[in-house]
Structure 1
Amino acid sequence: MDRAAFRLILWGCFLISVCSSPVTRTQNVDVYSFHINSTVTSRYATTTIRSRVANKLNESQEILFEVKIPKNAFISKFRMIIEGTSYDGVVKEKAEAQQQYTQAVSRGQSAGLIKSVGRTLEEFKTSVTVAALSKVTFELTYEELLKRRLGKYELLINAQPMQTVTDFKIEVHIHEKTGISFLEVKGDLSTDDLTNAIKTARADKDAWVTFYPTRDQQTKCKTCGENGLNGDLLITYDVERQNPNGEMTVSNGYFFHSFAPSDVSRIPKNVVFIIDRSGSMHGKKMEQTRLALLKILSDLGENDHFGLITFDSRVDLWKRELLKATQANLEDAKSFVKKIADRGATDINAAVLEGVNMITRHPREGTTSILILLTDGDPTSGETNTEKITGNVKEAIGSKFPLYCLGFGYDVNFDFLTKMSLENNGVARRIYEDSDADLQLQGFYDEVAVPLLTDIQLNYIGVSNLTQTSFNLYFNGSEIVVSGQITDNSVESVTT
């Protein structure tokens, strides 16, 4: 293979993968070794997947390499080794990738791309022509910063070699300098059939997880079949936290500061739910939204205040002002939620601005406020220009509180919701239209249910090129992370 003939192109959009010619998995391809090695240091994970494949035919054939990686990860390295020669991939930016991918495939070159395959994973796929009775080694490395949610970090590893493998290994090493408080292994591959294949070990600051299934085990577990393993290992853990100022890690002239206090009192919150009841929410979406809201209302604290807004082409308020989460008010609100019915178009602009007004009309000292928008569509009524809506909302909120946007399904304009959330110190989350959509909504709310700190400012001396250092809210079970470059050889002080 001409070294110049290999290009690896990664496109960040959701695109269906197309190989240069049809590829089928047959007995003529042998995946004789499949290793996954993951190292986590201070919550930063580097994972390498190495697959060794042999062409058993007396003629050349195309061999497919297909793996799944977490959505928040990025590929830092990819190479193929053929007959002792290494061919390194070239990772392209999103703007260039689509055109270059098409050109590469049309010329018969090897190219690869990423597409979304579900809630938590993206798929990388490429193929290469391998000579008769020859071998190819695929090596892919991806990296990710593990984010703390609900008091734990999660490392997700997918294994899908699509045939039984003689030499199969997953090895994980976690090192946290403050110590590891707990470790748990779950997932599709952590079942009774594979119990003996999973081993864990712990020391004060380190933990190891290994997964060495026999060839026989690779076909008999619940998520396995004649094509071998197909599932995930989910490793969850948390760290010891002894310093109230957080943990500081210094390496190669840079620092990483993580801050996650838990020994502070919760702050009463004012929360307004803005609920899309337009026609596209008909059926299961609306039913699941009702179920989630009923559970969320039950979880409000006695010192919290709340409001409910429903909208289609018209905006309606349950009550004109925020009410305290007393038992009587909660029962009244639940009766209202049970009667929400879908109809009409979608006026997101008017609905969100009304939510802002509801909070700003009734300020309460010693509290924090949150707006949560639940929608499945584009704006189709009132102001429909998304740029104008984003500007209107940003001006109205004025950085006083966050806006969280929950988008139902794949058809929702998720880029619009993401931008609107980020410009207002919140996040957007896609709610998948599965049987557990109400649990997804509940899970998101649990992440923001207990605010502990507001108006946080982290100050550093002797550093530059800092990431974000100001935060409106810190929620229990999450974590604040700041990194930057050290200019005076050490971080002299940290104040919060």
Structure 2
Amino acid sequence: MERVVRLTLLGLLLAFGTAAPIKEDWDIYSFHINSTVTSRYATTVITSRVVNRVDAQKEIHFQVRIPKNAFISKFRMRIEGEMYDGVVKAKEQAQQQYTEAVSRGESAGVISSVGRTLEEFKTSVTVAALQKVTFELTYEELLKRTLGKYELQIHARPMQPVKDFKMDVYINEKPGITFVQVKGGLSTNALANAVTKTHAHNQAWVHFYPTEQQQVNCCGEQGMNGDLVVAYDVNRDVSLGDIMVSGGYFVHHFAPSGLPPIPKNVVFIIDRSGSMHGNKMRQTRRALLHILGDLAEEDYFGLIIFDNSVSSWKRELSQANSENLAAAKEFARNIRDAGSTDINAAVLQGAEMLKRNPRDGSASLLILLTDGDPTSGVTNKERIQDNVRKAINKKYPLYCLGFGYDVNFEFLETMALENNGVARRIYEDSDADLQLQGFYEEVANPLLTDVIMIYVGGIDLTKTNFSQYYNGSEIVVAGLIDNNTETFTPRVVALSKSIKMEFESEKDSRLESTGTISDHHLQRVWAYLTVKQLLDKELQLSGAGKENVKKEALELSLKYSFVTQHTSMVVTKPPGENTQVLHKPKEGEKPSRHGHGQAGVGHGVRFGFAPPPPPARMQPPDYDDQSVMLFAGYNPVMAESQDDLQYDSLDFHSMNVPPTDISATEVPPTTQVPWHHKFLLGAENQTIPLCYDVSAKHLKLLQDPDTGLSVNGELRQSLQGGLQEIVIHYKNDQRIEVNTNSITVRDGQHVKAFHWGQDHATAGSATLILRDNEMDVSIGDTRIVILLHQRKGEKLLWPVLRQFPSGNNAEGILVAKPAVFSILQGTSLSARLRFHNREVTALRTSAVDYSKPFAPTLECWSVSPELALQKELSDFLVTQL
């Protein structure tokens, strides 16, 4: 069980070894991370484009950090118009290719462990003079819920400031999203206003768009090095949970709420051997004191300490009342390290303590903390595992916490899995005591025991029996439906304080295939979960059973192109380049920076790529921040030139948004159409936004008196709305004029003309990144994306403010604050809204949101512009561009 559920999107760096790149030699001109989380399953695509800027060939290294729980499913490079794919093969086949490469004096790339949650992928390629290379890596991960939330961690380390740096996260959850939080070092200080987020019912968007200057101001010429963490949770209104059905597969997320906590019996088994000397022992004592303070009075607990001998605070379990807790804390303060390690005797004594103290309506668990191998008493690991398995007899879980890198983690992991628990590494850092406390918090509140997931009509099921369900966690089961959804019946049976509980769907309700999930999506969730559980099962078996499970895990890994312990990725390269075989490291191996030479060096990840149906690569919506949900003209290709990497087709259904060219009202040419647009404005604590109509020609989009920056726009004469021209004014009377056909930069008498899709350009103090349907403008610490849509043969523009001016004096439509209102009463057609002390009736209508990909139509409450903006409309108009 993970301490915190994380989707570690990436830390991408392109560098020579560990040194920073020399910008005069080569430059990362585009660095994009797109992660789409659909029903807790995350697909992340990392794309980095690099140019060799000198008149000589250069070796360019590509490195990326990925979650340890993720499976890489695709890697490819585009060099001079040629695509080179990684290929997933069985480990033995890849090893043969690797050995042949080594015999020719070539090197082997690896993925190495780099810490608590990350692994590092590394490869390199030689790029000809003045040429570009595009790297693309795709990985997949099923998010786990921990302590009431899912967390997505983004670690960014490009090793240089990047002009076109973008991180986009799109979350789509059918039950609805209850909250979205953004935290981490990259969301604070100089980078704080580079983060934007939007949450609307069952979708959320987070964007991180720091300008190049902002990256320099924050972190110098070495570029950013830090984390962005996105946390969220979903609605849980149905006791049976969220069940998705599509393409013959189902995925069931079960996390009932409102259940009373079950009193627990917990025995802490603490290693005090000599290797725990110093900081380990101090941190353990500190964590234990905190944990004891968190026990509820209805809980019972025991303390066992061991080295080469075993002793306990009391022979029997003790109630967690104030008197016993005070005495137990005094005992914990005096634990000292000495002697060797008798794990067998200690765990057996803990199991015996629970056996002697049965309590109806309670949940029991053992928590073992050790930092080493068994060195006294029974030292044969298989025999210890057999003894512990017989003593526990599947009655309660055993959690094994391995302190530091010297511990035999595979031994602890196997012993935990055999007894319905998990193993967790505690890292020897300054926060080790917090890691211990954090783990305990995950299992501190059991809500159900003996959970059995039943699926009539379901086959090829993942794990369906769970010893305990804890508050803030989630049980996930996937499988195939044998016949059809009408005969498929899910049911959950469990115990709550010895009372049998059953969770079923409503009598008259039927499961229906969701139209928002593509058929292959649930299949990949099932495959991911099945492979993970097969790998865990393999650890617990021996002989023929072990080989059969290994074979099954290998076949699925190859079918779905997952890089696992049994597959490798062979990275093919241009003729004459080194062949690389990439390996997945085991948990517990020490971090390694390089992996050259013989197999196994560097704790590498074995990778390759076979071509099953690739995952749909869904670009997350360009949804604007906080207040204004304005425009989206999102190009799934997003390529700077025809030579750059082309993306696969997008699955529109899986994104729950229509394509760009959606139907619009046709207006006869003779009809006089006004300058008009229906704007969307986000609302605090409301999932349905406001919308308001503006009929005017020229709009004040942004005006920042602190920097002299202003952005004005001219509406189109069309019922579809949108802008036909945008003008950006900035320092020294410079301005950028943007229309649907071209871009013009004026600096006094000097005029420069650009066109859409031209790549990079500079315009005085402004940096322009020009794509086929997207223009990215950075001026100081402000970043504006102007998107180009085409609807029914007509082109239109709309701006999205990705980085707000750092001052507090900016005004205009782009920086309008979210509306604050409450709904007093409402129907499907209208609602009575309260704005401060004013009540109004609003009609429920819809508006096209151009700030999202494919311009979806959103429901909204229609009000006057003065009410939505809390100012007179005239404050947002200008007489000329």
Partner of 1:123: 120
Secondary structure of residue in 1 paired with 2:468: strand
Shift of the alpha carbon at 1:443?
Answer: 0.2
Is contact 2:17–2:61 with CA below 8 Å preserved after alignment? no
Distance in structure 2 (CA, Å) of the matches to 1:169 and 1:20: 23
Partner of 2:297: 302
Q: Deviations over 1:413-466 (max 9, x none)?
A: 001000000010000000001111000000000000000000111111111000
Gapped regions of structure 2 (runs ≥ 5) = 1-14, 493-881
Q: Does 1:43 align with 2:37?
A: no
In structure 2, what residue type is equivalent to 1:236? A
Residues 64, 130 of structure 1: CA spacing in aligned structure 2 closer, same or farther, 3 A cutoff?
same
> Please, what is the CA RMSD of the aligned residues?
1.8
Distance in structure 1 (CA, Å) of the matches to 2:430 and 2:437: 13
Shift of the alpha carbon at 1:262?
Answer: 1.8
Partner of 1:322: 317
Is contact 2:112–2:119 with CA below 8 Å preserved after alignment? yes
Partner of 1:150: 147
Residues 109, 176 of structure 1: CA spacing in aligned structure 2 closer, same or farther, 3 A cutoff?
farther
Partner of 2:420: 425
Distance in structure 2 (CA, Å) of the matches to 1:149 and 1:133: 48
Secondary structure of residue in 2 paired with 1:333: helix
In structure 2, what residue type is equivalent to 1:254? Y
- Percent of aligned pairs with the same residue? 66
Is contact 2:481–2:488 with CA below 8 Å preserved after alignment? no
Is contact 1:23–1:62 with CA below 8 Å preserved after alignment? no
Secondary structure of residue in 2 paired with 1:289: helix
Is contact 1:69–1:157 with CA below 8 Å preserved after alignment? no
In structure 2, what residue type is equivalent to 1:190? S
Q: Does 1:225 align with 2:220?
A: yes
Residues 73, 269 of structure 1: CA spacing in aligned structure 2 closer, same or farther, 3 A cutoff?
same
Shift of the alpha carbon at 1:220?
Answer: 1.9
Residues 102, 164 of structure 1: CA spacing in aligned structure 2 closer, same or farther, 3 A cutoff?
farther
Is contact 1:450–1:475 with CA below 8 Å preserved after alignment? yes
Task: Give 1:382's match in structure 2, choosing from 373, 377, 385.
Answer: 377
Is contact 1:23–1:63 with CA below 8 Å preserved after alignment? no
Q: Deviations over 1:235-292 (max 9, x none)?
A: 1000011111000011221100000012111111000000000000000000000000
Aligned residues: 476
Task: Give 2:242's match in structure 1, choosing from 211, 222, 247.
Answer: 247
Q: Does 1:135 align with 2:132?
A: yes
Partner of 2:445: 450
Partner of 2:398: 403
Q: Does 1:435 align with 2:430?
A: yes
Is contact 2:458–2:488 with CA below 8 Å preserved after alignment? no
Secondary structure of residue in 1 paired with 2:220: coil
Is contact 1:312–1:346 with CA below 8 Å preserved after alignment? yes
Q: Does 1:163 align with 2:183?
A: no
Residues 445, 101 of structure 1: CA spacing in aligned structure 2 closer, same or farther, 3 A cutoff?
farther
Task: Give 1:173's match in structure 2, choosing from 161, 170, 173.
Answer: 170
Moved more, 229-238 or 338-347: 229-238
Distance in structure 2 (CA, Å) of the matches to 1:216 and 1:357: 64
Shift of the alpha carbon at 1:492?
Answer: 2.7
Query: Mapping of 1:261-272 within 5 angstroms?
Result: 261-272=256-267
Shift of the alpha carbon at 1:107?
Answer: 3.7
Q: Deviations over 1:44-79 (max 9, x none)?
A: 000010000111222212100011111111101000
In structure 2, what residue type is equivalent to 1:495? R
Partner of 1:13: none
Query: Mapping of 1:446-485 within 5 angstroms?
Result: 446-485=441-480
Residues 97, 335 of structure 1: CA spacing in aligned structure 2 closer, same or farther, 3 A cutoff?
farther
Q: Deviations over 1:129-163 (max 9, x none)?
A: 11121111000001100100000001112222111
Q: Does 1:285 align with 2:280?
A: yes
Secondary structure of residue in 1 paired with 2:212: coil
Is contact 1:20–1:105 with CA below 8 Å preserved after alignment? no
Q: Does 1:336 align with 2:331?
A: yes
Shift of the alpha carbon at 1:96?
Answer: 6.2
Gapped regions of structure 1 (runs ≥ 5) = 1-18
Is contact 1:20–1:108 with CA below 8 Å preserved after alignment? no
Residues 196, 129 of structure 1: CA spacing in aligned structure 2 closer, same or farther, 3 A cutoff?
same
Is contact 2:442–2:472 with CA below 8 Å preserved after alignment? yes
Distance in structure 2 (CA, Å) of the matches to 1:233 and 1:33: 19
Q: Deviations over 1:382-422 (max 9, x none)?
A: 11111111111111111000000001111110010000000
Task: Give 1:212's match in structure 2, choosing from 187, 209, 212.
Answer: 209
Shift of the alpha carbon at 1:185?
Answer: 0.7
Residues 203, 381 of structure 1: CA spacing in aligned structure 2 closer, same or farther, 3 A cutoff?
same
Residues 103, 158 of structure 1: CA spacing in aligned structure 2 closer, same or farther, 3 A cutoff?
farther
In structure 2, what residue type is equivalent to 1:281? M
Residues 308, 162 of structure 1: CA spacing in aligned structure 2 closer, same or farther, 3 A cutoff?
same
Distance in structure 1 (CA, Å) of the matches to 2:359 and 2:100: 60
Shift of the alpha carbon at 1:91?
Answer: 3.0
Moved more, 230-239 or 175-184: 230-239
Shift of the alpha carbon at 1:108?
Answer: 6.2
Distance in structure 1 (CA, Å) of the matches to 2:230 and 2:286: 30
Shift of the alpha carbon at 1:94?
Answer: 5.4
Distance in structure 2 (CA, Å) of the matches to 1:95 and 1:430: 29
Is contact 1:178–1:241 with CA below 8 Å preserved after alignment? yes
**TM-score w.r.t. structure 2 length?**
0.53
Secondary structure of residue in 2 paired with 1:86: strand
Shift of the alpha carbon at 1:105?
Answer: 5.3
Q: Does 1:31 align with 2:28?
A: yes
Shift of the alpha carbon at 1:206?
Answer: 0.3
Is contact 1:300–1:325 with CA below 8 Å preserved after alignment? yes
Residues 156, 22 of structure 1: CA spacing in aligned structure 2 closer, same or farther, 3 A cutoff?
closer
Distance in structure 2 (CA, Å) of the matches to 1:447 and 1:477: 8
Is contact 1:110–1:128 with CA below 8 Å preserved after alignment? no
Distance in structure 1 (CA, Å) of the matches to 2:102 and 2:88: 16
Shift of the alpha carbon at 1:375?
Answer: 0.3
Is contact 1:194–1:217 with CA below 8 Å preserved after alignment? yes
Is contact 1:322–1:362 with CA below 8 Å preserved after alignment? yes
Partner of 2:409: 414
Secondary structure of residue in 1 paired with 2:191: helix
Secondary structure of residue in 1 paired with 2:447: strand
Shift of the alpha carbon at 1:95?
Answer: 5.9
Partner of 2:358: 363
Partner of 2:70: 73
Larger radius of gyration: 2
Moved more, 227-236 or 431-440: 227-236
Secondary structure of residue in 2 paired with 1:226: helix
Residues 361, 174 of structure 1: CA spacing in aligned structure 2 closer, same or farther, 3 A cutoff?
same
Shift of the alpha carbon at 1:348?
Answer: 0.3
Secondary structure of residue in 2 paired with 1:313: coil
In structure 2, what residue type is equivalent to 1:447? E
Distance in structure 2 (CA, Å) of the matches to 1:94 and 1:289: 40
Is contact 1:69–1:123 with CA below 8 Å preserved after alignment? yes
Task: Give 1:202's match in structure 2, choosing from 199, 202, 206.
Answer: 199
Shift of the alpha carbon at 1:22?
Answer: 10
Distance in structure 1 (CA, Å) of the matches to 2:279 and 2:17: 40
Is contact 1:185–1:233 with CA below 8 Å preserved after alignment? yes
In structure 2, what residue type is equivalent to 1:74? F
In structure 2, what residue type is equivalent to 1:305? Y
Distance in structure 2 (CA, Å) of the matches to 1:97 and 1:334: 55
Partner of 2:345: 350
Distance in structure 1 (CA, Å) of the matches to 2:333 and 2:309: 19
